[in-house]
Structure 1
Amino acid sequence: MTFRAIVATTMVVGCGVGQALAQQPAEGFTLGLGVTHSTSIFVGEDNETQALPLLRYEAEAFSIGIPDGLRVTLISNQQLQFSAVVSPRFSALDDTDSPALAGIDRDITVDGGVQLRYSFGRGTQLHLRALTELSDDHGGHEIAAEVRQPLPLGQTPLLLSAGLTWQSDDLAQYSYGVFANEAAIGRPAYAPGNVIIPHIAVSTVFPINDRVNLVGSVRATFLPDDVSDSPIVDEDVGFSSFVGLSYRF
């Protein structure tokens, strides 16, 4: 299991399929297995397809899972849910294969913060999330806003989402930049500064029976010029997808 595959799963499961599963009324454990495919945005790194597990426990007051982390609900009613969260942040720059990325290695970090979900009419939801790094590797911050809208299509509803993620300069450099001690010939030091990254996603959960679901999600992330201009980035759009089976008990 490579870290780029984990990153892809975090994006499409934690930001798509995970929420679709969480919207179902049943509580308890969810186990699953699926396949993720991600395109690399980094110089010399290949696209990757990988089999990966899905593990989640959902309760009214909290949820915990891999890869999305821990949520503890502080306030909850029909319209609003306010929670504290702790989640891992994986990097595709861990254990890279590309010679162009030699000497660049990022660790898993841990974020903590709060998130808010507000429900409007017709199933529309606004999700806000503010995180700061707890593991003291870069000290960066992130604020994300996303709107989600379900589209009823019989037994196969679609969950559409679109949002923006702001990252502080410390986090953006850790994620996409080149530190001074990593500079090399043809790879100058680079700091993107604060960045805002848009994304769109589509996910679905198709019930096979009362406990088994077919789940899937596709996500596109649009990198701003400050990111795509980095000497280690050679794409301006990243795609990731996941399809698999989940069992709730």
Structure 2
Amino acid sequence: MFKKLLTGTVICIGTGAYADGEWTVGILGVGTTGTYVGEDDTVGVAPFLTYETDRLSVGLDGVSYNVLEYQQGTVGLALGYRGGPDFPNKDPLFDGLKRDDAVEAGITAQLDFGNAYVSLHTMTDVSDTHGGTEANVVVGYAIAPGSFVVSAEVGARFRDKDLNQYLYGVSATEATAARSAYAADQTTTAFANLAVVYPVTQTISAVGIVEYEDLGSNADSPLVDKSDVVGVGLGLIMSF
């Protein structure tokens, strides 16, 4: 979740893309609230690395390429990586429960209206790991008060039942005396992002990010301890 926010939001508002390519590297301190039963709120460090051209974007979470560019927007293809859920191994509720990492492919599209934009991002498993699909529709707005650049986004996230089962479900064969079976359903939930970039020098910028996501009916899973998730990040990025 959090690396997608860093890759998508920070690059969108903090740096430019050029025909000859631009690298952005950085390090951010990040914190997220625990989602699963027995999972503590976490604080750590996340690396940040992207390479951008007019059409190509390569980051730690995947690759996208704009196959169509027109005056008001773009349409592209994407290939991404989804790490398996990091279940708390210290809680007996999760004994023997494991999910493999997944590779996903999809389509991206964005329409620009001055400082505002509307985007669509869909990804489907192509590695036969969970067989599910996620689609995000986002409405965003970026402003530049003084030296700051501020971007705010609100959106809706659709996940089908296969992806939710991978993230939050318990199959009949995975059920134990401590862990009841749970068949996840498809969900459409809300999320919001806020990012602030402040240029320290011509190449180095300070970045602050906040993300909120509602879990919807996934909060009913016996594996889940929260009804929403909050993530924050603060650090420095350098572009060259």
Q: TM-score range by the shorter chain?
A: over 0.9
Please list every run of 5 or more consecutive structure 1 residues that lacks an aligned counterpart in the other structure.
1-6
* Larger fraction in helix: 1
Counterparts of 2:120 and 2:3, CA distance in 1: 20
Counterparts of 2:14 and 2:144, CA distance in 1: 15
The corresponding residue for 1:161 is 153
Residue 214 of structure 1, aligned match among 176, 197, 206: 206
CA offsets, 1:183-234, max 9 Å, x none? 112421111211112101100111111100111210010111x200000001
The corresponding residue for 1:51 is 45
RMSD in angstroms over aligned alpha carbons? Answer: 1.6
* Correspondence 1:35-74 to 2 at 5 A: 35-67=29-61, 69-74=62-67
Alpha-carbon offset, residue 178 of structure 1: 1.1
The corresponding residue for 2:77 is 84
Residue 218 of structure 2, aligned match among 227, 240, 247: 227
- The AA in structure 2 aligned to 1:165 is R
Q: Secondary structure at the match of 2:136?
A: strand
Runs of 4+ in 1 over 4 A off after TM superposition: none
The corresponding residue for 1:124 is 116
The corresponding residue for 1:4 is none
Residue 198 of structure 1 pairs with residue 195 of structure 2? no
The corresponding residue for 2:129 is 137
Q: Secondary structure at the match of 2:173?
A: helix
Residue 113 of structure 1, aligned match among 85, 89, 106: 106
Q: Which region of structure 1 is more displaced relative to structure 2, 183-192 or 52-61? A: 183-192
**1:44–1:99: 8 Å Cα contact kept in structure 2?**
no
Q: Which region of structure 1 is more displaced relative to structure 2, 40-49 or 92-101? A: 92-101
Please list every run of 5 or more consecutive structure 2 residues that lacks an aligned counterpart in the other structure.
none
TM-score by length of 2: 0.93
CA offsets, 1:129-186, max 9 Å, x none? 1211011011111111011111332111210000011111101110111122211124
Say if 1:163 and 1:111 are closer, same or farther in 2 by CA, change over 3 A.
same
Q: Secondary structure at the match of 2:24?
A: strand
